[in-house]
Amino acid sequence: MIKYLEAKTKNLLLIWTISLILVFLIGVIDYESGYEYSFSIFYLIPVIWATWNAGRWGGILISIFSTITWVEADLLARHVYSQSFIPYWNGLVRFGVFITVALLLSELRKSLDRERTIARTDHLTKSANLRSFYEAVDSEKIRARRYNRLFTLAYLDLDNFKIVNDQLGHRTGDLLLQKAAATMMEQVRQTDIVGRLGGDEFAILLPETNLESARDVLKRLREKILQTMQENNWKVTLSMGSVTYRNVPDSVDEILRQADDLMYLVKKEGKNDIQFREI
């Protein structure tokens, strides 16, 4: 988490630095060209860049800096106005344009991000949906081959879920799935991905995770899920197959199939357990 925040901070600093440099360069050109040529529209370039990449507050900050730079360039160019307050008034008008663009663009970006998230997320559990999980596994497969890295994929099924769903109703069944998924997402790293593959079947992608580490994580996760089930008086357990890949299959389907087969082996042997394998 700390590394993620550090990387995000560095990224924002880079975006703001590039935006400020753009504003400065446009200001220099604006000053050198004299007051007869208007460069106000070009200040929108860093405003748009900062807003799209750093969000609303990034756009607001660059809007303020762009306005100050434009006013300074205009004053240094010794543009003669009939009233001394006019350049400042013009600056406020330009600031109004900059800030309007920044706010509208930030709302557009949030809307697009929201739509993208909805398209990649299971509506009930908020975990990754089947499509986005497939894409994540495919990306990890390529990365593992290129850099000779391990990864682990766990396939799991909630034992006796259908009984709870039939006896207590679909609303209770939905709540059970939500709590199970939430527990999974709480127990894994931010770089790991929990996906709902359908019904009460889930899968977890653990990048750069060897057999020993996967064993520790998944055993702890199983205990937490069983505890959640017991707290709610749901007679549901967990069957899981976990495969750690050194030699990665050619297709995502084969990767999932191998973990799924291992999970079904657990079910055949009595359910409520985990089988681990390294390939």
Q: The whole model's pTM is what? A: 0.70
Question: 40 and 81: one domain?
Answer: yes
For 68-82, 155-169, 186-200, which range has the lowest pLDDT when averaged over its residues?
A: 68-82
Question: Six-digit token pair at 31?
Answer: 């000053």
Q: What integer is the mean pLDDT of 13-26? A: 87
Final residue of a domain: which of 119, 153, 183? 119
Whether the per-residue pLDDT at 13 is higher than 90: the answer is: no
* SS3 at position 193: strand
Strands (DSSP E) found in 80-214: 151-159, 193-198, 201-207
Q: Identify the domain containing residue 209 by its residue range.
A: 130-278
| CA dihedral for 92, 97, 102, 103, sign (positive or negative) | positive
- Domain for residue 94, yes or no? yes
Report pLDDT digits (tens) over 64-115: 999 999 888 888 877 778 888 888 898 899 999 999 999 999 999 988 888 8
Residue 212 sits in a domain whose CATH number is 3.30.70.270
- Domain for residue 204, yes or no? yes
Q: Rounded to an integer, what distance in angstroms lies between the CA atom of residue 233 and that of residue 34?
A: 77
Whether the per-residue pLDDT at 200 is higher than 90: the answer is: yes
For 38-42, 115-119, 156-160, which range has the lowest pLDDT when averaged over its residues?
A: 115-119
Report pLDDT digits (tens) over 40-53: 889 999 999 999 99
Question: 145 and 268: one domain?
Answer: yes
Question: 148 and 109: one domain?
Answer: no
CB 239 within 8 A of CB 271: yes
